[in-house]
Amino acid sequence: MLILLFSVQLQLLPTGAQIDFGDEVTPITGLVLIDTLLNGEPAAFASAVRHLILPSITLGTALAATVVRVLRAGLIEAKNADFVEALRSRGVSHTTVVRHMLRNALPPTITMMGVKIGSLLGGAIVIETIFSWPGLGRLIIEAIQARDYPLVQGGVLVMAALFVLVSLCTDIVHGVLDPRIRQGKGRRA
């Protein structure tokens, strides 16, 4: 739908690829956006940003809606907590109260984001195919079409390892944000 609206109807954004066909970028890092900056090509950088808009919006919209909803629920729960009233009664500034509320609302949000990374990786397969972006997802699709099963297994293994790594980082960040989760602190039952 976004391609139909912004590329076909309004002709504002490109339909696919990473950069306009006339622009040449010498690969340094393999990331087109960074390579255009390192090569000092502002026109190619602008082209790369334009090509990044539709895939980013497509991939991030569903995740953003869920994140905002969970964060909002956490903030509403924290707003009704006793410590917020105690902070307000002491005359603490509004920004400090909001910071304390965010600290209490972030752990469930971070956990949910870690779980959503799996759907983000799965969505990247579709996005890379639709927008003609080279990446692991598109490589897996091409390997499936070519019946290259070892490549499919390797790609899925890399995605699974990435998901496990993100889950580990999520648990570590959750432990940092929520002192009740830290192991070895306080009494044991």
pLDDT tens-digit map of 123-160:
888 888 888 888 888 888 899 999 999 999 999 999 88
pTM (two decimals): 0.68
pLDDT at 34 over 90: no
Mean pLDDT value across residues 59-86: 87
Among positive and negative, which fits the CA dihedral 39, 41, 42, 47? negative
Residue boundaries of the structural domains of the chain: 11-177
Q: From CA 62, how far away is CA 72, in angstroms rounded?
A: 16
Confidence (pLDDT) at 2: 79
154 C-beta neighbours (distance < 10 Å), count? 15
Confidence (pLDDT) at 38: 85
Confidence (pLDDT) at 72: 92
Output the DSSP codes for 120-152. Answer: HHHHHHHHHHHTT--SHHHHHHHHHHTT-HHHH
pLDDT at 186 over 60: no
Identify whether the C-beta of residue 114 lies closer than 8 Å to the C-beta of residue 172.
Answer: no
Name every residue whose Cβ is closer than 8 Å to that of residue 167 and which is 6 or more positions away in sequence: 114, 115, 117
pLDDT at 20 over 80: no
